[in-house]
Each structure stands twice: as structure tokens, then as C-alpha cells.
Amino acid sequence: MFIEPNLSGERRGWIEVVCGSMFSGKTEELIRRLKRARIANQRVEIFKPALDKRYDENNVVSHDANAILSTPVEHSQTILLMAQEVDVVGIDEAQFFDPEILSVCETLALRGVRVIVAGLDMDYQGKPFGPMPQLLAVADFITKLHAICMKCGNIANISYRKTATTGQVLLGEKETYEPRCRKCFHE
């Protein structure tokens, strides 16, 4: 990624969105970027929705068990209060946040903060998920990751729910979801 040099000395912020289906490596990529920012001696804060307690109450944890300490929050506005004097803010599972997450990310970027957001772009029905479409629309950089379809081995971009449970939000792992390509998802 090329970042235009800022010769005025003023710190400029931006929004990066990492999206894709479940098991595509979104959280892994978020953790990688945040760890690199720390190596560069940047001040980093990480947030996740309080409802996501699948692997750990406080840590953001990837399916491969990589982890980074985070702060669980109930409402996105809390991020603005807790992200003072930072260079980089990481936000995991953005699809679970309230619609205000968009203005939170915009405000942080305007303050000169690099904002890295990871989340599902589509729900289990293949429909846009939560505030992710709006975040993708305002993002300066977008990385779309793909998993491998569990039926045919092609690239997968949809999180297929293996249970009959309805409702857009159902936290789960491999017992509940599997990645599927477009063709296998619709069969």
C-alpha cells in the first residue's frame, strides 16, 4: 500500500477495512497489522464488541489461536472516549457494532488516527451485514479475503450456516458455519 508523504508535518488518518467470509483470515490480518504498528512504536488500541466471547472475554483471537489484547465495548461511541493519544485503532467484528461505528471511524481518521476495521461483509444469507457496507464505502483501503469452499475447494466468500437457527446474529465456529463459494451456497 502506498501512502502519500505528508510534508506539512500534520498527521493524517485513514480507514482500512479487512472483510470477507468466516475462516478467511480477517482477524489474523487485523492482528498482523496491529502487531506491525506496535513494532514501529506506534500507540495502538484494539476494540471488539462485548458480545463476542467465543474464544476469550478480552482478547481478539483468530481461528488459528493468534491473539492480541483488546477492550470489549458495548457501544461504538465508547471507542472515541477510550482511544485518546493513539496512532492506530483496531476494531474487530465490526458487523456487530451499532450504526454509529461509521461516525466513530470517520472521527478517528479526522483526528489523524489510522483505523483498521475487520468484519464480515455478508451474513449467512449472503446479504450485506450491519454497518459494513457503509464502512466499505468510506474506506480509504479495502482488503477482501477469501476462504476455501468446504464443498468444492474453490474460493469462498459466503459464510454458510449449518444450523436451522434464524436471526442474523449467531456467534459460532466450525460447528455452526462453513465457508462456501457462490455456486455451492446457492445449491
Active site residues: 93
Q: Do β-strands 67-69 and 59-61 pair in parallel, antiparallel, or remain unpaired?
A: antiparallel
Ramachandran area for residue 93 (φ above 0: left; ψ -120 to 50: alpha; else beta)? left
Per-residue CA distances from 171 to 5, 10, 93, 103, 141 (Å): 41, 41, 11, 25, 27
CA 140 to chain centre: 15
CA 1 to chain centre: 18
Query: Is residue 66 within 8 Å of 60, Cβ to Cβ?
Result: no
Per-residue CA distances from 95 to 55, 76, 150, 184 (Å): 18, 11, 23, 24
Task: Say which amino acid occupies 100.
Answer: E
Three cell numbers at 148? 476455501
Rounded Cα–Cα distance for residues 91 and 10 (Å): 24
